[in-house]
Structure 1
């Protein structure tokens, strides 16, 4: 079977130009369907089981794969680098795709980029069907064509693609099941000459490599422990152990580090305070929370310091929490950072009143109400999306409930509270919502009491 290597990150990645978070696994699911519909085997780097350095099978795939689909969404520099390697190695059968928000930063307007559209983090059903059909057709056409799509071979047509070096004299002949390497013909590979020796042969019919857990498999297992099926308890400690292993393999992947931070502080080991300090240390070393423009990182920075404030009531922790959520909300205009920002503004307003600073207290209280009004608009569409995953939908519904509670809108509070209760999610999610609501009510009572003449 012919193979298609997909150049793409995995998990959720942030587009730093606009703060959007894209679920690249959702993108890959559509790409894989299109590849398989065209009759090829789809392989992404995280699916490769290997017992050696990942660079070896990756470079083999870039050379040997019959087709390569490169997804440049979120301005992934690794994907751009691997695309460049493919262009240098193979004159044709390379397809470039990207989410519609991608703006090509390179002076290569002559390269066709096929676009798809995310609705929030995921791809909607109609868009998925459209993009799948377009990509399937593109794969079929590019395999049938003899036209170079690599700019290297387009502008240097006399260039001959690289080949495996001939075996040294006296070396053992390759096994008869291994095909001869492809030959250059007229500046183009003759792909029909089949596959080169190496990792790809194992994938398409040779001996399978010894099973090794891939980073993606371990990440999926960790996420399942953080967000188990409804009725099951989360296992943050086990998730943390898995994520530490994934991070060793992918130290520069911010999504992996962000999930490790979550698992670390929620595991509360050896105690809540120590876990929070460790989570903060991980962020300081790897995520640059002071100057980052990643809304996910800023939200985590706010969450960690919010909990540190709850333990120690240090003003510096409260201000750091407010700053994290404020910056995240300003960058992304998202309901998650917004609802937490509003809560902390109310919390700080009470602290201002305790310190005798009524003007700043009123300013924070008014701003909190305005933020909740905007959050209500931002969270409405995802909260009403009945086709969405219940866990994702829950947080939007819970946000509308909390926003209404904070505004004192009893009817909307009852409406969204009932909607939240109706969703099948892990109990810790419901408990988190109710505890947050209890704290908000107590804050408003304290503000009213301290504001009284």
Structure 2
């Protein structure tokens, strides 16, 4: 019997925690998902020895990365060794490397545009039993497609070979062009920063000067995209996303912000589709669920304003549960947590679950402030928590810190709206929060809301 093509497996060994604290049993993932799928695809499985992963990369590892016809890389936990090996593989082979990741985490920006097969984890850190057949079938199909393409035109899944003409034989003239592009990119980013302070018309002028976006550095395009967000220019954001090169437009960050912009334009149904598709493709994340929660929250507010009480109750529940899913995806991100708590307070009667959730949200935001560089949303979260706790002194201090760090107009507008909702709900219950009115007004003024 002829030897079958080799498929090298790039992944951690044993049990490792991911960014959310979940323990992933990589040996079980290898045994239950990867080996059966690779075998069914007609390939021989080859995995690095455990002792090869502990220090300086060994010659056999390089040989396997370069010479194996196929490879499967599990990117869960963003393991440094796996990413180094993936880089070597992408530099050496234009094809055919298949990527996997466990849902619930987020792929780093540099690999987010690449096609990766998601799988769900059980509480034991293994592939969820219900998801195992689907994940296996997806991996078999991807490897089988790569084998079919090998007989014709190999699939280029290495971004180096796909995006760089003539790689690896780049001419010296191209390095000169690259130097010029780097210098031009820095100048353009400086121009965008200056235009952002001048407003929408200045940003439009900068965009008109860029030329084809396919020939513009990704960092410049993203800088412009987020600058439109900073001045609440939602339609230009949507328009720019539609003109971006597809790999950039399909990144998680761009799709999330596209959903945010669509919702701000009153196109909540389109935003919902974008965000749900993103969760299906990339797995749950606190940011994606946080923006989706805002979609449902805005629908709830519209139902309240139209007097549709029954519909409003259902939409409020939907918003709460969506924010909860975001907080459960990453408890370090207090944004979906505080939104869930605030909306729980607005229910009639208030949702009792908020009493257990509040201390967790407090801890999450306090740790962010203690170990990092706190931003506007950290102090805005403390502000909402203080208002919910009827702590005027803490609320005023948090408001001062938030205002000092406000970067974009819509940030203050959002927080002022939340405080107003809390105050009006409390007033209906016969409670007074008049001391919170000046805080709302200060945020409105900073956001230029008239």
TM-score (norm 2): 0.49
Larger Rg: 1
Higher relative contact order (CA 8 A, sep 6+): 1
**TM-score of the superposition, structure 1-length normalised?**
0.48
